[in-house]
Amino acid sequence: MKPRGDLFGSFIDQLATAVKVPEVSPGNVGEWAAGTYQGGSPIVLDRGPFTFERHEYLVEPYGDDHPCQVERKSTQRGNSTRAMLRMFHAARHLSMVGVLYLFPSKTGIGDFSRSRIAPLVERNPEIIGRYLQDTDSVGLKRFNGVNLLFRGTKSEEGLRSDPADFVIYDEFDLMAEGVEGAAQGRMEHSDFKWQHYLSNPTIPDFGIDRKFQQTDQRFWMLKCPSCGGWTCMEDWFNPSIGVDQEIIVELRGEIVRLCMQCRNAALDPAMGQWVAKYPGITNMRGYAYSNLWSLFRTPESILEALHKLTTRTAPPFWNYVIGSAYIESDARLSKEQVMALCAGHRIVQKDRGPCWMGVDQGARYLHVVVGKSWPDRIVYVGVLREWEELPKLARALGIHCAVIDAMPETRAAKKVSESEEMAGKAFLNWYNTGKVIAWDEKHMKVGSPRTETMDDSHDALKEGSVALPADCEDVREFAEHCHNVASTWEEDDEGNRTKVWKRLGADHFRHAFNYAWMARNRLMGSGFGDCDLS
């Protein structure tokens, strides 16, 4: 702008500057929501104006603008509301171009839009409503000129296009694998790169529980009104069913949360402070929420629920009420459990068969498991570097039926399955979400339900109906891979929960065994089982 010497010009300049002066800073998300900044008024939620009363534990998270936050939560702790208000606050007061709010399924988007966004907009015409521009799409809102994108994670398409500065993962544990990579791609050009993960935990070392372990791990510690000592309730509430816990007990005729320092006073969930277990970790911020210290849940009701636990009700109790990860003992095999299947026989390189084989394609190598029946035992566990080695091995081990992972190198797999040694015996496998195994002898293909076949081969290992070769490096790796899968639940696009086997680490031998077990069952069902196969 050229300098203006006259009075009027200077006035115009002042006006231009005045227009650019930002309004009174609304402070952090908490101050903005509670309306405690100068001239502010609180945001109205479904239960009335926003307040921290009875939600004292939320004051600090609401004031937290750490760019990478992880919330491992129990139910009804206000985490989704906080994530939603963070989204609006960022879009209103930070210079972001887009916020991506992710749900496991598409259904979540509609529900969120109807039950959360619409009432919030209606009740807050001044603070929210007037900045919202109508769009026809349920997956896109324009707020203060910023794109608010709502997406399910089942189809990757939705995660590809528009740029974002902030990604929120709501119910992270129920999302499809690989969602993070796709979502982070959207933030490549962002100066913010904010991430907010929130979820009820499901199984240990998975999803939100694994994320939380990477953070500074903040727990809400309660201060004793009598002795002034601190107690972390989660540390004292014993997770083993049937074991007496000592933190929720009767004290002078009343069921209370007991101070673990003096053991003579009741704790008040409102009197607490967030304390990090690992304050040295600064790149990821984590909060753990539990209904153990909810003011909306009496200690009696928790004790009652604990006493009524069955194997069926235990996982939801630990995940949703206590806010901790939990796995039924038979949903994941321990390495020791698998190694206990080792018999005296050694891994062989030659056998007259008839044997059954399973082959999993990894990023670089082929993982192969070969077994023989009567009694069922694994005779070979190994890794091949080249496809050409597979037909030779199949011949040396007298393979009568093989199931080979068709992906990702379908052409190489097909070529090998049509080799002289394997033709007519090797099926290419594609996992699906159906219920039955479909063998296609004409094209030597098989479509198999991933969950059901994994259940079946899991039972074989769990019940010890298959023996392993004696302890050696390959067998130990096999056991490790078997330990690296666990069954849990995932939400589909209609919002239905289905059982799935999740990968918790390298699991190639586990899938090779799954394919081998399918081959074994095919041989057994073919009338072949009547022969003497020893």
Of 63 and 225, the one with the shorter C-beta distance to Zn ion is 225
Residue whose tokens read 């995660």: 159
What is the footprint of Zn ion within residues 1-40 (CB under 5 A)?
A: none
Choose the binding region for Zn ion from 33-41, 87-95, 253-261, 473-481 (rule: CB under 5 A): 253-261
Of 262 and 407, the one with the shorter C-beta distance to Zn ion is 262
CA–CA distance, 112 with 121 (Å, rounded to integer): 12
CA–CA distance, 262 with 256 (Å, rounded to integer): 14
Q: Classify residue 421 by burial, with Cβ atoms within 10 Å: 0-12, 13-18, 19+.
A: middle
Report, in Å, the least distance between residue 59 CB and Zn ion: 23
Report, in Å, the least distance between residue 264 CB and Zn ion: 6
Q: Of these, 91, 187, 203, 265, which contacts Zn ion (CB under 5 A)? A: 265
Q: Of 487, 457, 473, 491, which is closest to residue 175 (Cα–Cα)?
A: 491
Report, in Å, the least distance between residue 260 CB and Zn ion: 8
Is residue 258 a contact residue for Zn ion (CB under 5 A)? no
Of 95 and 226, the one with the shorter C-beta distance to Zn ion is 226
Angle CA 429–434–438, to nearest 5: 45
Is residue 222 a contact residue for Zn ion (CB under 5 A)? no
Choose the binding region for Zn ion from 94-102, 140-148, 219-227, 342-350 (rule: CB under 5 A): 219-227
Is residue 343 a contact residue for Zn ion (CB under 5 A)? no
Report, in Å, the least distance between residue 322 CB and Zn ion: 22
Of 46 and 250, the one with the shorter C-beta distance to Zn ion is 250
Choose the binding region for Zn ion from 57-65, 260-268, 416-424, 460-468 (rule: CB under 5 A): 260-268
Our measurement of the distance from residue 381's CA atom to the centroid of its chain's CA atoms, rounded to an integer in Å, reads: 31
Choose the binding region for Zn ion from 115-123, 187-195, 229-237, 330-338 (rule: CB under 5 A): 229-237
Coil/strand/helix, residue 427: strand
Of 264 and 311, the one with the shorter C-beta distance to Zn ion is 264
With contact defined as beta carbons under 8 Å apart, do 150 and 101 qualify?
A: yes
CA–CA distance, 290 with 74 (Å, rounded to integer): 5
Helices (H) and strands (E) in the chain, counts: 17, 24
Of 14 and 264, the one with the shorter C-beta distance to Zn ion is 264
Q: Of these, 12, 118, 227, 531, which contacts Zn ion (CB under 5 A)? A: 227
Of 148 and 256, the one with the shorter C-beta distance to Zn ion is 256
With contact defined as beta carbons under 8 Å apart, do 516 and 370 qualify?
A: yes
Q: Which residues is 284 bridged to in the sheet?
A: none
Of 227 and 343, the one with the shorter C-beta distance to Zn ion is 227
Q: Of 55, 67, 63, 82, which is closest to residue 220 (Cα–Cα)?
A: 55
Q: Of 428, 383, 389, 410, which is closest to residue 518 (Cα–Cα)?
A: 428
Secondary structure (DSSP) of 187-221: TTT-S--EEEEEE---STTSHHHHHHHTS--EEEE
Is residue 259 a contact residue for Zn ion (CB under 5 A)? yes
Is residue 230 a contact residue for Zn ion (CB under 5 A)? no
Our measurement of the distance from residue 122's CA atom to the centroid of its chain's CA atoms, rounded to an integer in Å, reads: 33
Helix (H) / strand (E) containing 149: strand 146-152
DSSP state for residue 307 in the 8-state scheme: H
- The residue count for binding Zn ion (CB under 5 A) is 8
CA–CA distance, 167 with 343 (Å, rounded to integer): 50
Strands 377-384, 166-170: pairing is unpaired
Tell me the three-class secondary structure of 57-76, residue by residue: HHHHHHCCCCCEEEEECCCC
Q: Of these, 224, 233, 359, 504, which contacts Zn ion (CB under 5 A)? A: 224
Q: Of these, 261, 273, 337, 432, which contacts Zn ion (CB under 5 A)? A: 261
Report, in Å, the least distance between residue 163 CB and Zn ion: 52
With contact defined as beta carbons under 8 Å apart, do 514 and 454 qualify?
A: yes
Choose the binding region for Zn ion from 170-178, 259-267, 287-295, 493-501 (rule: CB under 5 A): 259-267
Which token pair is 192? 């913010």
Is residue 260 a contact residue for Zn ion (CB under 5 A)? no
Of 259 and 446, the one with the shorter C-beta distance to Zn ion is 259
Report, in Å, the least distance between residue 265 CB and Zn ion: 5
Report, in Å, the least distance between residue 267 CB and Zn ion: 8
Is residue 262 a contact residue for Zn ion (CB under 5 A)? yes
Which token pair is 108? 């979540």
Which token pair is 390? 């597979």
With contact defined as beta carbons under 8 Å apart, do 512 and 369 qualify?
A: yes
CA–CA distance, 97 with 91 (Å, rounded to integer): 8
Length of the chain equals 534
Choose the binding region for Zn ion from 31-39, 73-81, 222-230, 311-319 (rule: CB under 5 A): 222-230
Report, in Å, the least distance between residue 221 CB and Zn ion: 12
Choose the binding region for Zn ion from 256-264, 279-287, 316-324, 386-394 (rule: CB under 5 A): 256-264
Choose the binding region for Zn ion from 62-70, 255-263, 349-357, 434-442 (rule: CB under 5 A): 255-263
Q: Of 177, 517, 507, which is closest to residue 367 (Cα–Cα)?
A: 507
Of 138 and 249, the one with the shorter C-beta distance to Zn ion is 249
Report, in Å, the least distance between residue 254 CB and Zn ion: 16
Is residue 438 a contact residue for Zn ion (CB under 5 A)? no
Residues in touch with Zn ion (CB under 5 A): 224, 226-227, 229, 259, 261-262, 265
